[in-house]
Amino acid sequence: MGVRDRLQTRWRGRLKAVPPLPVLTDPTSAARRFSEPPPADSRQRVFRRSLTLLAFAWGIAEACLFFVVPDVPVSLIALACGWRAGLRAAVAAAAGAMVGGTALALFASHAPETAIALVDAVPAIPTAMIARMQGLMAGTDSAAGLTGVLIWASLSGIPYKIAAASAPGLGIPVWELALLTPLVRLPRFVALAAAGAILQRLTPSMPGWMQPVRVRLLLAALGWSAFYGVYWSKVGG
């Protein structure tokens, strides 16, 4: 056998070893695969991630100038989607509060009077509340003391943004405030997420007209509206 014959035999063997290409029996099958909507599980994951991002953005906004606390979306998310979604929203809201509070504190370190004026213009924040919070913060001489003041303020309805705008003017480092923020704000968010998740688990024992998620969310939203109505009427500002 000559060299040419040996080469032809070798190439024929290699070509036989190559698997045949699949035959597309339906030319429109590939187009249908791309046009079909994603599965329900995928859509649900995207939806829940969107809720977590909403809680994060809400935490940033409320720590700066927004006047509705992240407790509202956190509790509603837990009520609608359960404990895990509520916990993710609580952690995201605390992270957002750290980002927003740090940004406001950095701004206050360059323009303290402007930062306080912006906070003073937020609804339900009277000047007396700002002065009281600043007095409490000025009386602390350690991180533990500041933590206690911030936790007390969180439980007393004093907005966190007052502390963020006041910290630089009181000699409190921005990094210290940033590190304390999740420690101070996360417990309350987790508590609201737990409350919403408990109500979600109790749904089967509720009256029939309360079974739909939209009804329970509407009732919770009305409850939050009533709470804010009472709070603003008492605080003023």
What is the pLDDT averaged over residues 68-87?
A: 94
Q: Is residue 124 part of a domain?
A: yes
- Please report the pLDDT score of residue 229 as a whole number: 87
Question: In this predicted model, what pLDDT tens digit does every residue of 143-193 receive, in sequence order?
Answer: 999 999 999 999 888 999 999 999 999 999 999 999 999 999 999 999 999
Cβ pair 85, 77 in contact under 8 A: yes
Question: In this predicted model, what pLDDT tens digit does every residue of 30-39 receive, in sequence order?
Answer: 555 545 555 6
Q: Which amino acid is at 201?
A: R
Q: Identify the CA nearest to 161 among candidates 194, 116, 127.
A: 116
Please state, in angstroms and rounded to a whole number, the distance separating the CA atoms of residues 99 and 115: 16
- 234: confidence class by pLDDT, cuts 50, 70, 90: confident
Q: Which domain holds residue 185?
A: 48-235
Please state, in angstroms and rounded to a whole number, the distance separating the CA atoms of residues 157 and 147: 16
- Please report the pLDDT score of residue 6 as a whole number: 61
Q: Is residue 9 part of a domain?
A: no
Q: Is residue 225 part of a domain?
A: yes
Cβ pair 21, 57 in contact under 8 A: no
**pLDDT at position 11 over 90:** no
Please state, in angstroms and rounded to a whole number, the distance separating the CA atoms of residues 25 and 29: 8
Find the Cα–Cα–Cα–Cα dihedral 65, 66, 68, 70, rounded to 10°.
-90
**pLDDT at position 24 over 60:** no
Please state, in angstroms and rounded to a whole number, the distance separating the CA atoms of residues 94 and 86: 12
- Please report the pLDDT score of residue 22 as a whole number: 55
Q: Is residue 176 part of a domain?
A: yes
| Tokens at 87, concatenated | 């916990």
Alpha carbons within 13 A on the beta-carbon side of 211: 5
Q: How many residues make up the chain in this entry?
A: 237
Question: In this predicted model, what pLDDT tens digit does every residue of 78-132 receive, in sequence order?
Answer: 999 999 999 999 999 999 999 999 999 999 999 999 999 999 999 889 999 999 9
- Please report the pLDDT score of residue 214 as a whole number: 82
The shares of helix, strand and coil residues in the chain, as percent rounded to the nearest 5, are 80, 0, 20
Q: Is residue 10 part of a domain?
A: no
| Cα of 200 vs its chain's centroid, Å | 19
Please state, in angstroms and rounded to a whole number, the distance separating the CA atoms of residues 151 and 147: 6
- Please report the pLDDT score of residue 32 as a whole number: 56
- Please report the pLDDT score of residue 44 as a whole number: 83
Residue percentage of the chain with pLDDT more than 70? 80
What is the pLDDT averaged over residues 70-83?
A: 94
**Coil, strand, or helix at residue 237?**
coil
**pLDDT at position 233 over 90:** no
| Tokens at 200, concatenated | 């979600």
Q: Count structural domains, the chain.
A: 1
Q: Is residue 175 part of a domain?
A: yes
The number of helix segments (H) and strand segments (E) in the chain equals 11, 0
Q: What's the chain's average pLDDT?
A: 86
Q: Is residue 187 part of a domain?
A: yes
Q: Is residue 3 part of a domain?
A: no
